A and B are shown apart, each in its own frame.
Chain A
């Protein structure tokens, strides 16, 4: 095996640390975590900053993942391509669950709806493809935020989150806790947090590089999605199953 390049390994370790948390880190914290001299870490950070992989927060002087990296990670997959590849799975999710299905991607801190399947009851519904939804008040958004901590950090950095209903999570700390939970269990939910009486469940979709490229989920009335305040577990399973199927379609290793 050819020799490994130490500085690249260290840069990768820094990026991993910055992507693993929903907060910014300072040079001292990074140096501590990596057990490296501050000067070494600073040099690497400066280089990463030049190529746009990290950026420094003006006020705190701390570092976070940069726009170039975000772009590579989250928007490499064209939304129209994602829709095309997910079409059949989205249809069967709607059939199984009896609810409307949406697929979303992150777009400047919001969720862009790239696909929408009507609730299969032939009632009049309007297509929402192209609409932007608030990330912190939707299951799609939470599923995406849990995998894109830098975006979550940016949202949090703005202070209070907009309340759409009394149920909306507006407290940054609570949102962060919930995202950790989402990250752990692999799916997200929202009950009456965007529209009173409505709930949604979503799970992240990954590609062959295990990058999160979108999320798929169902939305419906709380009466149908919940029983005694708890989400129906088989609906959750349909959603996570569909997310896995789309991920497999995109080349992710089955898990």
Chain B
């Protein structure tokens, strides 16, 4: 192995970034470029795969140039990517047959309902750990096969290939048609137990096996890159949330991270066996390092966290910027008994009530905008507690600390309240870019740049820690009220809505 650096691509929903890390996991360089969002119809969201590939090449180039690092000094390239977004391309020409259909796109709503009714939601969940939902790739593939003339025939002949963004990038970098277990676990097509494509699911979704990539570990050399990183092994691929789990070095069962952004994603490492959730969490892959046994995870996603702060700013106009909510919230001592359930489009994990809508409860003449600001922030913490409680009843491991990242971790009031209601310490690492760091770690491990997981754990540095400091009675009373508020949010929609 040669080279003093590892490069990582973070291909996200809004932009592509490239980071260069040194051996101590310090960011040496970074470059970023946004790509266009296409909205051909309401609810449809597409990306141009060629634009993404072009941007990825230019951010890699820019990141290397900025610190005058040559490809020879880079010992591996890792990839973390927006999950579930689906690309179909021509094997011979490499040209996409259509724009990528992104994870947010809901055009497969009808296909999903058919699969749920026909094949059965429970059978899908048993095999994949997932509910049938428009997020996942399988139904998107099916839509493209059904709607783009000639594509089904060519896919059956192996002339048109499918991939999530990791596959698309690896294909362009080194002409290998592979994906990693974490990305494959978000397709509704991979069997969680065999870690291979499930023939029964392929049949149910009517997707030909010939178009699917080979499923590989998250950390292994898939091939050598061409382009600005010519000769550098492409050595990792992970869905972004899974990469963050690795970047936060949550390698032991019972360790968990939560990313607090627009929405929030909690991933809880459950070890070598998949744990079926009785509480509506997703069972997914944490990561798989080389030939080692895979690590499974439970995932709870919360649709509206930072988005509620944005709503408070844009729709109520009570603050000028997201961070100002903390200033406003600190103008009062507590939420004054006010609770805000942001079920704007229903309640997700662990409630799964699509008939719910948002409510603000406990209003009295005493409530000011400061109390509302508190209730907005506290909603994120209570929702996290709901997810963690579901995890606790699905899995025997107990959480000792929650590792956090994402934009909302800048909010001290929120992080302290989170520690208070979860009753565990909340810690923030010094490298906030946990997604790209995770991709770099997995790639570096594959080529021996880092010897083992312990050396990575050693790199993890605590930048801040919030310790629980709330009277248990107060915590339980608050939680009881929150549950009452949730109960008031459900059963709102009627048949004729």
Contacts and interface: CB of A to CB of B under 8 A. Distances in A.
Interface in B453-469: 460-466
A10 to B, nearest CB: 34
Nearest to A101: B463
Contact of B463 (A78, A81, A84, A118): A118
Contacts of A83: 323, 410, 412
Given A79-B327, A127-B464, A84 B410 contact: yes
Contacts of A111: none
A120 B430 contact: yes
Interface string B13-43: 0000000000000110000000000000000
A78 B321 contact: yes
A127 B412 contact: yes
Interface string A81-99: 1011001100110110000
B289 interface: no
A117 interface: yes
Contacts of B465: 118, 124-125, 127
A177 interface: no
Interface string A103-123: 000000000000011101110
A81 B313 CA distance: 14
A84 B323 contact: yes
B321 A81 contact: yes
B464 A117 contact: yes
A118 B412 contact: no
A6 interface: no
A87 B432 contact: yes
B307 interface: no
Interface in A108-164: 116-118, 120-122, 124-125, 127, 129-130
B430 A91 contact: yes
Interface residues of B, number: 23
Interface string B399-415: 00000000100111000
Interface residues of A, number: 23
A60 interface: no
Nearest to A87: B410
Contacts of A81: 321, 323-324
A254 to B, nearest CB: 16
B432 A88 contact: yes
B322 A84 contact: yes
A80 interface: yes
A78 B432 contact: no
A117 B430 contact: yes
B26 A95 contact: yes
Contacts of B324: 78, 80-81
A146 B461 CA distance: 34
A80 B327 contact: yes
Interface in B112-148: none
Contacts of A124: 465
A124 B437 CA distance: 24
A91 B431 contact: yes
B214 interface: no
Contacts of B462: 118, 120, 122
Contacts of A125: 465
A124 B465 CA distance: 9
Contacts of A129: 412
B326 interface: yes
B461 A122 contact: yes
A121 B326 CA distance: 29
Interface in B428-483: 430-432, 460-466
Given A84-B322, A118-B464, A127-B465, 17 more contacts: A78-B321, A80-B324, A80-B325, A80-B326, A80-B410, A80-B411, A81-B323, A83-B412, A84-B323, A87-B432, A95-B26, A117-B430, A117-B463, A120-B430, A122-B462, A125-B465, A127-B464
Interface of A: 78-81, 83-84, 87-88, 91-92, 94-95, 116-118, 120-122, 124-125, 127, 129-130
The 3 closest A-B pairs by CB, nearest first: A120-B461, A80-B323, A80-B326
Interface of B: 26-27, 321-327, 407, 410-412, 430-432, 460-466
27 contacts: A78-B321, A80-B323, A80-B324, A80-B411, A81-B324, A83-B323, A83-B410, A84-B323, A87-B432, A88-B432, A91-B430, A91-B431, A91-B463, A92-B27, A94-B430, A95-B26, A95-B461, A117-B430, A117-B463, A118-B430, A118-B461, A118-B462, A121-B461, A122-B460, A122-B462, A127-B412, A130-B412
